[in-house]
Chains A and B, each alone.
Chain A
């Protein structure tokens, strides 16, 4: 009798898990599922309504990806949580997943007109470590399929000014994921750091600090009272330096850091860098090639126009532009902030 009950409960669990919950084996298994729905991250995938235990989250300052919008989710296996690590993302245990869907609204002025889902990137914590791969949405917007080698999506959207902006959107291949996500040659999550999660969010039950919410939901463990929070680079209430450093930390500092892919350059733009030469101030380029734009220094205090850093942000030419991948459009608002910051530096 007991055994029958147990079998029944297993069956019930299996059925319910396959219908309403995340398929844990799809995260930890050796092979990647071919389609996104096999993970079971969503109750309603095309509407991006997450399953139970898949929690949406937001970041204070985000990576620019050709003006695309992003929805982020974290999944942690039942009974486990991510632990705080100084200067790093929460240490989510094996079996966890970070899920990020990239999309454009058809028209930024009227979100009711619907969305164009581009890709859903997943970071999966397997026994052997984290692995990154992307699923590309089909034309019908009904399913996303794995694209190991990446993909080019030629699309467009209507921006807030009503202009149609064409974009050659690039879905990164598996190796390109690693460019930003690797530290000392290991793939790691970079977004959900305490300093970049520490903001108030509107939840159904009211406004709440996101870290407190995630703590209560047992997605994360306890974290220290005091740590430096990154500012929202778009918020004009903050000093220009904090805004610029926040933007650079998120958009450049994952490669341009002593443990990152671009460490050979000696240009370090991560959140904690304080040495002026490594921040690029009067720093000569090392192997920039034509990326130097005929200028001598990464940053010339008070002279944004002759600063290589800005020159490479303005360019959209491969071989010159920075970041090297993930961008094909100019991020005008960011250029304005970085210019103001460089202009504000004293000549001494």
Chain B
């Protein structure tokens, strides 16, 4: 028995020692060489991409657990897909415990880096960029983990995505920090996800800075527990260049942070400034913003079609506190419904924080339950505007309120998100 143990121990050790470093260089055969390395890699191996420009005609994919893909820096190791002929993304990862570090993915026809169903995906100091600037023909997402757990996106740069630079969808336990997202339609988007910390990021020159969304008819919905803090969400001033049909296509240029249909979201200690439509918007999900505001009954009917009847289209338990606000609403993007309605209702006096006020009918009359109330505190001289949808719907005069006092409840801080991070990071 002891012999067996020793034997097993040796096997284990030898496996540890056998972790290989596979070095790949740019060249005409690199498509096949790198793809073969990605398929033949063993758990524990590192695929080293030396500095240089790598040209690919097809997408790449990794399906082996515990592999590191390591470049020589996001300005030095460049995976270019400008000549891409097939493949829906640049790099697809479908395995667990994967570290992607120090390289760039440029000009993919679809998404830059997509990760499906991974437990443990760590994207460190990467760059995803469409080099021709904001264009509707750019790929949708820069960094795109979906249906994943233990997600870390740290020190990355995303530029030019026609949907979101950083997009985490239907995932659990997420940290997005120290990133720069600029000239995307949405800088950072957390969608249908549970437990996310988004902090120390800069979201600038996007159409919308940071979005926390929840959408119906998906395997995972009911997005909740998202903390957005210490971010700089400034000067988001790029015209929305998303192809229509996508939900972000409705985001007005000049929106700082949008919370849609999530629960337990805490927005604090951010610097939010220079957003021409509005610094923060808190809204319900609707098929279009017009319908959200004018016809809640329509949506109730729609809801019957949802797979999960529990889908809750309204934001609840939202806390906004201790943020530093600068200019807001000086250049509303009236092409977009939400901005047009806001501009109309505010009579030119645009707020820092906007709430569409849409709730289940009963709550619109009697108010939200105590523990679901919107709470706002210590936001300096930030201004506020909420719609009274009942008045709005029946065209009763003055359907808005600007009073913040009634929302000054007690802050109940959400607990920090913890994720499993491998030792080598």
Interface residues of A (CB under 8 A from B): 148-152, 168, 170, 173-176, 178, 185, 258, 261, 263-266, 275-278, 283-297, 308, 317-320, 324-325, 328
- Looking at chain B's contact residues, is the secondary structure mostly helix, strand, loop, or mixed? loop
Quote the shortest CB–CB distance from B157 to chain A (angstroms).
Answer: 19
Point out the residues of chain B lying under 8 angstroms from A294, CB to CB: 243-245
Query: In the complex, which residue of chain A has the Cβ closest to the Cβ of B164?
Result: A287
Q: Does A288 contact B140, Cβ atoms closer than 8 Å? A: yes
Which one of B83-91, B265-273, B318-326 is at the A interface? B83-91
B383 within 8 A of A: no
Q: Does B36 contact A289, Cβ atoms closer than 8 Å? A: no
Point out the residues of chain B lying under 8 angstroms from A285, CB to CB: 245-246
Say whether, besides A289-B141, A317-B109, A308 and B85 are in contact (CB < 8 Å): no
Query: Can you pick out 29 interface pairs between chain A and chain B where the beta carbons lie within 8 Å of each other?
Result: A148-B36, A149-B35, A149-B36, A175-B38, A175-B61, A264-B146, A264-B218, A277-B217, A277-B307, A284-B245, A284-B287, A285-B245, A287-B140, A287-B144, A289-B243, A291-B110, A291-B140, A292-B244, A292-B246, A293-B243, A294-B244, A317-B109, A318-B86, A318-B109, A319-B108, A319-B111, A319-B140, A320-B109, A325-B59
B215 within 8 A of A: yes
Point out the residues of chain A lying under 8 angstroms from B40, CB to CB: 148
Point out the residues of chain B lying under 8 angstroms from A185, CB to CB: 117
Q: Does B162 contact A289, Cβ atoms closer than 8 Å? A: yes
Interface residues of B (CB under 8 A from A): 32-33, 35-36, 38-40, 57-59, 61-63, 84-89, 92, 94, 108-111, 116-117, 136-141, 144, 146-147, 162-163, 167, 169-170, 215, 217-219, 243-247, 287, 305-307
Point out the residues of chain B lying under 8 angstroms from A263, CB to CB: 147, 219
Point out the residues of chain A lying under 8 angstroms from B244, CB to CB: 292, 294-296
Query: In the complex, which residue of chain B has the Cβ closest to the Cβ of A263?
Result: B219
> What number of A-B contacts does a CB cutoff of 8 Å give?
143
Q: Does B219 contact A318, Cβ atoms closer than 8 Å? A: no
* 3 pairs of A and B residues whose beta carbons are closest in the complex: A289-B140, A292-B245, A319-B110
Q: Does A286 contact B39, Cβ atoms closer than 8 Å? A: no
With A and B bound together, what is the CA distance between A285 and B217 in angstroms? 10
Q: Does A290 contact B36, Cβ atoms closer than 8 Å? A: no
User: Which residue from A266, A292, A318 sits with its C-beta under 8 Å from B85?
Assistant: A318
Q: Does A308 contact B245, Cβ atoms closer than 8 Å? A: yes
Quote the shortest CB–CB distance from B177 to chain A (angstroms).
Answer: 23
Point out the residues of chain B lying under 8 angstroms from A278, CB to CB: 217, 307
- Told that A175-B94, A290-B137 touch, could you supply 6 new A-B pairs with CB distance under 8 A? A175-B62, A263-B219, A286-B215, A290-B162, A320-B110, A325-B59
With A and B bound together, what is the CA distance between A23 and B139 in angstroms? 47
Q: Does A318 contact B84, Cβ atoms closer than 8 Å? A: yes
With A and B bound together, what is the CA distance between A228 and B112 in angstroms? 41
Query: In the complex, which residue of chain A has the Cβ closest to the Cβ of B81?
Result: A318
Point out the residues of chain B lying under 8 angstroms from A295, CB to CB: 244-245
Point out the residues of chain A lying under 8 angstroms from B117, CB to CB: 185
With A and B bound together, what is the CA distance between A284 and B306 in angstroms? 12
Quote the shortest CB–CB distance from B305 to chain A (angstroms).
Answer: 5
